[in-house]
Amino acid sequence: MDDDARPAARLTVLSGPSGVGKDSVIELIRARSPWIKLSVSVTTRKKRDYETDGEHYHFVTRSEFQRLVDGDQLLEWAEFAGNLYGTPRAQVEGWLAQGRPVLLKIDLQGARQVRATMPDAQLVFLAPPSVDELRRRLIGRGTDDEDTIRRRLAHADEELAAEKEFDRTVVNDFVERAADELVGLLGSSFLTPAQPPVSS
């Protein structure tokens, strides 16, 4: 396919219930598919031990977050389980302008905002093999206290019911298989993995 025939890069949204494996899939993509740009969200949530500020999230205070909202610097934002999360606008718009494939890991409310404001975006739902397996993963991760797990599982019912609003579903049965399927969906809107552009 020559450059002119290549379809424009699209924004891809990855959503799914807490504990389904979004971070695990994204870690593999980060390591293996550097041509895919991963948006780094801002959040008021507390950092987990395995997270790095500026890589997994930009961790900010509520007043810093509010300043970003007031300045229209977030593409979308939402409150999830008591914390605020948002996508910085400038970086994503810059990558899309360069024709890069961009992946956003955002919740259902954020996915709906992107659908409304950027109708060309591709919405992908990451689904668990079963609800029991989702519960096992959330508890097994060991990062959340009992109350946080309860709140996240309560949200999961709503998120699972919204699967039909998404363009595609990827089942996270095995992380590597799920990551490959997702990269395939992103790749189809830009370059194939066999010919990645020079990463910057």
Ligand X SMILES: Nc1nc2c(ncn2[C@@H]2O[C@H](COP(=O)(O)OP(=O)(O)O)[C@@H](O)[C@H]2O)c(=O)[nH]1
| Positions in the binding site for ligand X (CB under 6 A) | 18-19, 22-23, 41, 45, 76-78, 80, 85-87, 105-107, 109-110, 152
> Residue 32: CB partners within 8 Å, gap ≥ 6?
179, 183
Which residue number, 120 or 173, has a Cβ lying nearer to ligand ADP? 173
The answer on whether 20 is annotated among ligand-binding residues is yes
Residue 161 binds which entry of ligand ADP, ligand X, none, CB below 5-8 Å type-dependent? none
Q: What is the four-CA torsion angle of 117, 123, 128, 131, rounded to 10 degrees? A: 40
CB closer to ligand X, 36 vs 191:
36
> 88 and 40 in contact (C-beta within 8 Å)?
yes
Question: Is 86 annotated in some ligand binding site?
Answer: no
41 is in an annotated binding site: no
Residue 110 contacts ligand ADP per CB under 6 A: no
Residue 101, amino acid: P
Among 9, 11, 14, 20, binds ligand ADP (CB under 6 A): 20
Q: Is 22 annotated as a binding residue?
A: yes
